[in-house]
Amino acid sequence: MREKIIIRRNPFVILRQLIILQFLMGFICLIPTILEYFGIIQIFLPDLYKNIYFTIIAIALNILIITLVFVRWHLTLYTITKSKVIIKKNFIVNREEHYKLKDIDTFQLSQRYSNRIFGSANLIGWDKNGDRLFVLKDIPEPAYHLSLIEQFYKQKRTSESKKTYNGKNIKKIIKSEESQELEFKSTFVWDKRRKEASKNIQHSVMKTIAGFMNTEGGTLIIGVNDKKEVVGLEDDLKNIKKKDLDGFENFFNIVFTNTIGLEFRNYIEIFFDKVNKKDICIINVKPSKKPVYVKNKKEEEFFIRAGNATHPLRISEATRYIEEHFKK
């Protein structure tokens, strides 16, 4: 387990800032010409020297802007340890902000259009009163980094809370029948019937999670089959890049981001536990405040939870359901 995480802002920030500053610089360079055109000022230089003069200024400004943008990006660092979050902004003035991990209640990813284009997001830390503590801007690979941060965050939970989910003991949950708020899945990656890794299995898990979000929330347990037998995550771990629980959570976050979306990541909590010496994954899902869709190739699907199953709704059904359910 890592002792700390060091994150530097997405390098595409440099490109974005350069584009903005280039437009600004171009406007500034036009000001003397505009003022001379309207007779406000007069520049006593031949046209040749005038062009050379403005070219030298433009080159100098370009070098200065590129240097400043790069230095600002390079000196901005986010460090997450097991006890605190440190934001370093060493540019014109050296500044550090420290936030204790125990004061942070939740993390939330926020992704604007510009973030989405460059594959980044802003990570917001909230306290227990619902107040914003800090914003880590332009985080690269947001789903991956959020999963790493949450692993630190979970370590402050008590041992008792690790053994209970939604107020129930995990062994008692497994003995329960599947319902509108509980479902078991044998695997997340491995298709036991076809003996191969399958995106259809991943899609099935995401449908269930979206169904919980669009209804009243619920708990999904991966590593337990329909007969309530604990099969564990062994087959899944063998078929992902990083073959441990951290790797499983990272892979899950990437699939979730690509299928449901970063904006809904704060509605789920991921835990791991051992039952009969086998690892299982418990996913607590909160009801969403707005409709959640599942991306399937180029289409979007809408699911709800009814009884012990996840059901797709046609466009007309989904429209009516959204109007009635989310207006509440």
Residue 49 domain flag? yes
Q: Are residues 175 and 150 in the same domain?
A: no
pLDDT at 167: 52
Question: How far is residue 146's CA from residue 104's CA, in Å, rounded to a whole number?
Answer: 14
- Domain of 130? 1-156
Q: Are residues 207 and 319 in the same domain?
A: yes
Q: Are residues 141 and 110 in the same domain?
A: yes
> Of 133, 156, 179, which one is at a domain's C-terminal end?
156
Q: Are residues 222 and 286 in the same domain?
A: yes
For 165-176, write each residue's pLDDT tens digit.
Answer: 555 688 888 888
Q: Are residues 116 and 218 in the same domain?
A: no
pTM over 0.85: no
pLDDT at 212: 95
Percent of the chain with pLDDT over 70: 89
For 276-298, write each residue's pLDDT tens digit.
Answer: 899 999 999 999 999 999 998 88
Residue 314 domain flag? yes
Q: Are residues 71 and 43 in the same domain?
A: yes
CB 205 within 8 A of CB 221: no
Dihedral sign for Cα 57, 63, 65, 67, please: negative
> Residue 26 in 3-state DSSP?
helix
Q: What is the mean pLDDT of the chain?
A: 84
> Of 126, 156, 186, which one is at a domain's C-terminal end?
156
Question: How far is residue 165's CA from residue 128's CA, in Å, rounded to a whole number?
Answer: 19
pLDDT at 24: 83
- 239 pLDDT band (50/70/90 cuts)? very high
Q: Are residues 101 and 193 in the same domain?
A: no
Question: How far is residue 32's CA from residue 30's CA, in Å, rounded to a whole number?
Answer: 6
Q: What ranges make up the beta strands (E) of the chain?
A: 4-8, 76-81, 84-89, 96-100, 106-110, 120-126, 132-140, 164-165, 168-169, 182-185, 190-191, 196-197, 218-222, 268-275, 278-285, 293-296, 299-306, 309-312
Question: How far is residue 270's CA from residue 283's CA, in Å, rounded to a whole number?
Answer: 5
- 22 pLDDT band (50/70/90 cuts)? confident
Residue 45 domain flag? yes
Q: What is the CATH number of the domain that holds 11?
A: 2.30.29.30
Taking the alpha carbons at both ends of the chain, their separation in whole angstroms is 43
pLDDT at 158: 40
Q: What is the CATH number of the domain that holds 238?
A: 3.30.950.30
pLDDT at 230: 94
How many domains in the chain? 2
Q: Are residues 176 and 317 in the same domain?
A: yes
